[in-house]
Amino acid sequence: MPEATAGAPGSDRGVAVAPENTLPAVLAASGHRAIVELKGQWDADAATLLAADIAARGLDERIIVASFDARTLAAVEAADSRLPLLIVLKRLPADAVAAARRFGARGILIDRRAVTARPGVVDELHAAGLRVVVHTLNSDEQWDAATAAGVDGIVTDDPATLSMWQQQVLAGDPAPRRR
């Protein structure tokens, strides 16, 4: 990716970013996965630069692109239809499957309270081959509830502790209690 000198989409700040310091470069070196939420509206040129950088680093299977903005998701899909997309929803629509499909997304990213209020939505989306990711969960009680509901992903402010909790749960060990 050439050095970026323009500010982030939706920003009026110009920031120079060296190619080795881009998020895709850091992810490529780390071996981790990420949901990358694109804020504001990204145009076709910005989406193409992002998609090209992700593809050049072989990260197509490790990055999921998410946005509230349908135009941004359309620009990313036009740039590289292999990139998985999530539509970030403020509220759960009556037909969550239709909403995800309308935006070309492979699933939704929604507040955990929406899933708690309508737990059947997880099965509806799964039956349609779509994913459910919930945000922002920061305690073992929330992680327990989300896991029991069958969600596919959890967004947290504390990924290291969530990872330890997941490892302990998978090993059958009692997870540390975090409130």
For position 26, what pLDDT does the model report?
A: 85
Counting Cα atoms < 13 Å in the Cβ hemisphere of 98 gives 3
For position 85, what pLDDT does the model report?
A: 97
**To 10 degrees, what angle do helices 44-56 and 70-79 make?**
50
Class of domain 84-179: alpha beta
- Write the pLDDT tens digit of every residue in 92-141: 999 999 999 999 999 999 999 999 999 999 999 999 999 999 999 999 99
Q: Chain centroid to CA 39: how far? A: 12
pTM of the model: 0.83
What CA–CA distance (Å, rounded) separates 50 from 40?
15
For position 172, what pLDDT does the model report?
A: 87
Which residues of the chain are under the pLDDT cut of 50? 1-14
Spans of all domains in the chain: 1-64, 84-179
